[in-house]
Amino acid sequence: MTEESGPEPDATQASVRPEPDSTQAVHREPDSTQAVHREPDSTQASLRSEPEATGAYERLEPTSAQIRGTTPSASSSPTGRSTRSRRSRSGRKLRLGGGLVEVPPVPQIDPASAVMSDPTVPERKRFCWKCNEPVGRKSASTKATQHGTCPKCGSTFDFRPLLEEGELVSGQYEVQGPIAHGGLGWIYLAIDRNVSDRWVVLKGLLH
């Protein structure tokens, strides 16, 4: 009796062992569940593509609206900038040498006011144009003169202005009068009648 009941525990063990195997097989089902959880990836891909397309569509609308709405303001903005730059330049002082030397602003004057009322060359500046000897000066035996002959080389000299007011040069430049005397002759102020009556300067040359 005792020996016949002995093999029964073996059958029980054999029947108990397959159960964990089936249980382990059942526990593998989460693998298929994980495969099912991959579906959100495709959903995310579709969701990502939709905002990108929507964002691209939304970007086009403001761009076209800005082009239509800002066209007049774009033309007006450069004008404002140029106006500001002009104001700043006019009010800003000029500096030279890296800002170390300040140049005061020069006020604008009427060019006609520069014409000399009595165009005369001082005696100390009268020299012969050829030999560079003093001429036309007052001495014990001679009087001061603006025109004559050099006592050394015999060249003629004339320190008087050769052009008079209202005289037309080359049919274009109307002389207004002398404004200075240079090393080679007088410098005249004139008006260019062929180009918007603008002011010009004519330089006379001796011989």
Asked whether the beta carbons of 109 and 147 are under 8 A apart, the reply is no
Q: Is residue 71 part of a domain?
A: no
Q: Does one domain contain both 155 and 173?
A: no
For residue 180, is pLDDT > 90?
yes
| % of residues, the chain, pLDDT over 90 | 41
Query: Is 43 within the bounds of a domain?
Result: no
Quick one: pLDDT band at residue 93, thresholds 50, 70, 90?
Answer: confident
Q: Distance between CA 188 and CA 158 in Å, rounded?
A: 16
Give 204 or 15, the one with higher predicted confidence.
Answer: 204
Same domain, 133 and 169: no
Same domain? 203 vs 175: yes
Is residue 16, in this structure, part of any structural domain at all?
no
Decide if pLDDT at 1 tops 80. no
**pLDDT digits over 127-153, tens only?**
998 999 999 999 888 899 999 999 999
Q: Is 175 a member of any domain?
A: yes
For residue 100, CA distances in Å to 33, 35, 90, 93, 107 come to 82, 79, 20, 12, 22
Share of the chain above pLDDT 70, in %: 55
Q: Does residue 37 lie in a domain region?
A: no
- In a domain? residue 57: no
Confidence grade of residue 42 (pLDDT, cut at 50, 70, 90): very low
Check residue 25 and give its pLDDT: 46
What's the CATH number where 178 sits? 3.30.200.20
- Cα dihedral 144, 186, 115, 105 sign: negative
Q: Considering only 87-96, 114-123, 177-186, which range has the smallest mean pLDDT?
A: 87-96
Domain count, the chain: 2
Half-sphere exposure of 15 (CA within 13 A, CB side): 6
176 and 156 assigned to the same domain: no
Rounded Cα–Cα distance for residues 23 and 33 (Å): 16
Q: Is residue 18 part of a domain?
A: no
Question: Contacts from 14-23 at CB under 8 Å and sequence distance 24+?
Answer: none
**165, 197: one domain:** yes
pTM higher than 0.85, yes or no?
A: no
Residue 56 has pLDDT above 70, yes or no: no
49-58, 65-74, 134-143, range with greatest mean pLDDT:
134-143
Eight-class DSSP state of 169: E
Q: Which H/E stretch holds residue 160?
A: none
- pLDDT range class, residue 92, cuts 50, 70, 90: low
What mean pLDDT value characterizes the chain?
Answer: 72
Residue 20 C-beta-side C-alpha neighbours within 13 Å: 4
Could you tell me if 153 and 172 lie in one domain? no
User: What is the crossing angle of helices 71-91 and 39-69, to 10°?
Assistant: 60
117, 125 Cβ separation under 8 angstroms: no
pLDDT band for position 97 (cuts 50, 70, 90): confident
- One domain, residues 169 and 191: yes
- Residue 75 pLDDT > 70: no
- Does residue 195 or residue 30 have the better pLDDT? 195
pLDDT of residue 23: 45
- Classify residue 203: in a domain, yes or no: yes
Structural domain that includes position 146: 116-160
